Amino acid sequence: MNRLVEPLLALAATALLVLAAWAVPWLKFVLTIALAKGLAVLGILLLLRAGQVSFGHSMFMALGAYTVAFLAPQVPEALLLLPLAVLFSAVAGLLIGLFVVRYRDIFFSMLNLALCMVFYSVLEKFYAITKGTDGIRVTPITIAGQEPGRETQEWLIFGLALVLAVGSGLLVRAYLASPMGRALAGIKTRETRLEFIGVPARRVLLFAYVLSAVMGGCGGALLAMTTRHVTPLLSYWTASGELVFILILGGAGSALGPFLGAAAYELVRVYAAALVADAWQMILGGVLLAVILFAPQGLWGIVAGRLRGRA
Amino acid sequence: MTDAAFTRRAALLGAATAGSLLFAGGKAGAQQRPAELKIGITTFLSGPASVFGVPARQAAEMLFEEINKAGGIGGVPVRAFFVDEGPGTDHLVGEYRRLVQNEGVQLIFASISSGSCLACTPLSDEMRKTTVLWDCGTQRIFEEGPHPFAFRTQGYATPEVLAPLLYLLKHKPDFRSIAVINQDYAWGRDSWEIWKTAMDTLKPGVRVVAEMFPRFGATDYSTEVTRLLAARPDVILSTHWGGDLVTLVRQAAERRLFDRSTFVLPVAEASMQILGRTMPAGHVIGARGDHWNNHPRPKDPERLRRLVEDYRKRYNEYPIYPCHHMAQAISATQAAYAKAIQAKGGGWPNDQELANAFRGLTFDSPTSSITLREDGQGLEDQIVGMSSFNDRFPFAVPKDMVIFPAAMVSTPVGQKSVDWLKTLKPEILAQVPAAIAG
Structural fold of domain B158-287+381-431: Rossmann fold (3.40.50)
Q: Distances from the Cα of B110 to the Cαs of A46, B40, B321, in angstroms?
A: 40, 8, 16
Is the CATH code 3.30.300.180 the one for domain B2-155+301-372? no
* Chain centre to alpha carbon of residue A176: 17
Distance CA B14, CA A111 (A): 42
A150 → closest Cβ in B95, B102, B126: B126
Say yes or no for a CB contact (<8 Å) between A26 and B45: no
Cβ-Cβ contacts under 8 Å for A81 (sequence gap 6 or more)? A67, A68, A71, A72, A75, A141, A221, A225
Distance CA A92, CA A97 (A): 8
CB-based contact, A267 to chain B, within 8 Å: yes
For A21, the closest chain B residue by CA position comes to B17
Torsion angle in degrees (nearest 10) through CA of A209, A213, A215, A216: 130
Say yes or no for a CB contact (<8 Å) between A19 and B17: yes
Q: What is the count of residue pairs from A and B with beta carbons less than 8 Å apart?
A: 134
CB-based contact, B260 to chain A, within 8 Å: no
CB-based contact, A268 to chain B, within 8 Å: no
> To 10 degrees, what angle do helices A78-100 and A58-71 make?
140
Q: Which of B193, B89, B188, B209 is nearest to A125 (CA)?
A: B188
Q: What is the pLDDT along chain A (311 residues), one digit of tens a residue?
A: 556 777 888 888 888 888 888 888 888 888 999 999 999 999 999 998 888 888 988 999 999 999 999 998 888 888 889 999 999 999 999 999 999 888 888 999 999 999 999 999 898 888 888 887 888 888 888 887 777 777 788 888 899 999 999 999 989 988 988 988 888 888 888 888 888 888 888 888 899 999 999 999 999 999 998 888 888 888 888 889 889 989 988 888 788 889 989 998 988 888 888 887 778 888 888 888 888 888 888 888 888 888 777 65
CB-based contact, B79 to chain A, within 8 Å: no
Do B2-155+301-372 and B158-287+381-431 fold alike per CATH?
yes
φ/ψ of residue B360, rounded to 5:
75, 10
Q: Distances from the Cα of B34 to the Cαs of A238, B26, B38, B96, B106, in angstroms?
A: 41, 10, 9, 20, 10
pLDDT at B438: 65
Q: How far is A49 from chain B (nearest CA, A)?
A: 25
Give the domain ranges of chain B.
2-155+301-372, 158-287+381-431
B115 → closest Cβ in A16, A133, A271: A133
Residue B299 backbone zone (phi > 0: left; psi -120 to 50: alpha; other: beta): alpha
B21 → closest Cβ in A23, A132, A280: A23
For B113, the closest chain A residue by CA position comes to A134
Say yes or no for a CB contact (<8 Å) between A12 and B90: no
| Chain A interface test: which of B21, B84, B90 (most A C-beta within 10 Å) | B90
Query: Residue A33: its chain B contacts at CB < 8 A?
Result: 90, 94
Distance separating the N- and C-terminal Cα atoms of chain B = 78
Q: Distances from the Cα of B348 to the Cαs of B11, B106, B207, B341, in angstroms?
A: 40, 11, 58, 6
> DSSP class of residue B232?
-
Query: Residue B97: its chain A contacts at CB < 8 A?
Result: 25-26, 29
Which amino acid is located at B204 in the chain?
A: P
Residue that wins the pLDDT comparison between B375 and B2? B375
Distance CA B349, CA B31 (A): 6
For B138, the closest chain A residue by CA position comes to A134
Query: Residue B91: its chain A contacts at CB < 8 A?
Result: 269-270, 273
CB-based contact, B17 to chain A, within 8 Å: yes
> Helix (H, G, I), strand (E, B), or coil: what is residue A36?
helix
> Helix (H, G, I), strand (E, B), or coil: what is residue B147?
coil
Beta strands in B143-237 (DSSP E): 150-152, 177-181, 207-212, 235-237
